[in-house]
């Protein structure tokens, strides 16, 4: 009897351990028995909250499902606008499981890849409908439209994007980007809850790009337009600079001319006063004036030893060298 107790205890402990399972924080558990989800009295799938729970060993299988908000950030897709122009839009979607039983059945056992593939199909279909009924400028711009530059007429035949919005004179654009995201979110939220048991929390368009085959030509066209405007501004700047320079030179010439005229007037007045003083002084003693002039002439004549003078000794030039009073 005692020998049988040990196997019984081991089997009991093993059965007890096999009947226990733990649901982690951020997860929810459902129990599948014979291929069917266990339900409560209201015929709703029984959901196990985080904590320790029990199940029937061998017959029950526990599937853990992530109850947190998840982000679906897939590759960008190409869409056609009402103008028959292509744009490439990159989006992301945030979602979480609301009806775990329906989600488990719809996705083939709670497969996240299957769920995201179904969600992506719904998002793309809804977004394609929204983009196909609007023009490019409505898709690119938001409600605060005059914060963006307008698209020039030359670019009207090519798709415009957020990154190629031309910085041109601002004008009102009927921006509907936020409205598009709100419509896609509302549409996807209803269908995702109905078909997948998933709650769509948020939807956003991250980036709107041009197709690679035409973006470079658009960039070149925009660059040429900007260079044309730059050349025009430079030409106008050079013209204004020449006008300012000419006006400055004219003002300088006027100032110099006026200053020279005033200097000449002051100099002439001073020379006249000097001559008047000299005349008054020399008229008092003409002989002394003649003597000073002769001394000055002697000084200038004999300043250099190499000078040679050929002068008649009896000329008036040597008058004051012969006699102190100037008489021979």
Phi-psi region of 110 (alpha: psi -120 to 50; beta: other; left: phi over 0): left
Q: What is the pLDDT of residues 109-146, one digit of tens each?
A: 888 899 999 999 999 999 999 999 988 888 887 665 44
Q: What is the pLDDT of residues 252-284, one digit of tens each?
A: 999 999 999 999 999 999 999 988 887 787 777
pLDDT tops 70 at residue 325:
no
Closest CA to 123 of 195, 43, 15: 195
CA distance 160 to 220: 13
Say if residues 78 and 88 touch (Cβ distance below 8 Å): yes
Q: For the packed helices 286-301 and 212-284, what is the interaxial angle rounded to 10 degrees?
A: 130
Parallel, antiparallel, or unpaired for β 27-33 and 86-97? unpaired
pLDDT tops 60 at residue 162:
no
Say if residues 156 and 189 touch (Cβ distance below 8 Å): no
pLDDT at 312: 65
Buried b / exposed e over 10-43, threshold 16 CB at 10 Å, is eeeeeeeeeeebebeeeebbbbbeeeebbeeeee
Confidence of residue 22 (pLDDT cuts 50, 70, 90): confident
What the chain holds in terms of domains, given with CATH numbers, is 2-66 (no CATH), 70-210 (3.30.479.30), 285-322 (no CATH)
Secondary structure tally for the chain: helices H, strands E: 8, 9
73 phi/psi in degrees, rounded to 5: -120, 90
Range of lowest pLDDT (3-17, 34-48, 152-166, 302-316): 152-166
What integer is the mean pLDDT of 241-250?
A: 94
pLDDT at 62: 84
pLDDT at 313: 64
pLDDT at 95: 93
Q: How far is CA 262 from CA 73, 271, 275, in A?
A: 84, 14, 20
Partners of residue 87 on adjacent β-strands: 79
pTM here is 0.54
Mean pLDDT of the chain: 79
In percent, the amount of the chain with pLDDT more than 90 equals 30
What integer is the mean pLDDT of 13-18?
A: 78
DSSP, res 21: E
Per DSSP, the three-state class of 93 is strand
């Amino acid at each position: 009897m005692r020998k049988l107790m040990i196997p019984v205890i081991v089997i009991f402990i093993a059965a007890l351990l096999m009947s226990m399972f733990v649901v982690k924080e951020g997860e929810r558990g459902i129990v599948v028995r014979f291929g069917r989800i266990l339900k409560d009295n209201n015929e709703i799938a029984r959901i196990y909250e985080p904590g320790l729970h029990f199940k029937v060993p061998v017959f029950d299988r526990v599937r853990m499902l992530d109850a947190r908000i998840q982000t679906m950030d897939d590759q960008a897709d190409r869409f056609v606008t009402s103008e028959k122009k292509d744009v490439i839009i990159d989006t992301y979607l945030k979602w979480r499981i609301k009806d775990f039983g329906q989600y488990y059945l719809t996705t083939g056992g709670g497969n996240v890849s299957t769920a995201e593939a179904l969600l992506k199909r719904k998002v793309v279909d809804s977004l394609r409908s929204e983009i196909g009924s609007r023009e490019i400028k409505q898709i690119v711009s938001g409600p605060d439209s005059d914060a963006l530059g307008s698209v020039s007429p030359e670019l009207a035949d090519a798709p415009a994007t957020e990154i190629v919005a031309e910085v041109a004179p601002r004008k009102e654009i009927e921006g509907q980007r936020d409205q598009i995201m709100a419509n896609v979110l509302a549409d996807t939220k209803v269908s995702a809850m109905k078909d997948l048991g998933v709650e769509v929390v948020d939807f956003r368009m991250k980036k709107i790009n041009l197709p690679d085959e035409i973006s470079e030509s658009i960039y070149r066209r925009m660059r040429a337009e900007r260079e044309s405007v730059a050349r025009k501004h430079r030409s106008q700047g050079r013209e204004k600079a020449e006008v300012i320079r000419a006006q400055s030179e004219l003002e300088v010439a006027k100032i110099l001319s006026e200053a020279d005229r005033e200097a000449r007037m002051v100099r002439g007045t001073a020379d006249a006063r000097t001559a008047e003083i000299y005349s008054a002084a020399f008229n008092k003693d003409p002989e002394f004036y003649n003597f000073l002039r002769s001394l000055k002439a002697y000084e200038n004549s004999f300043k250099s030893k190499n000078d040679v003078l050929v002068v008649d000794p009896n000329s008036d030039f040597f008058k004051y060298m012969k006699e102190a009073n100037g008489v021979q």
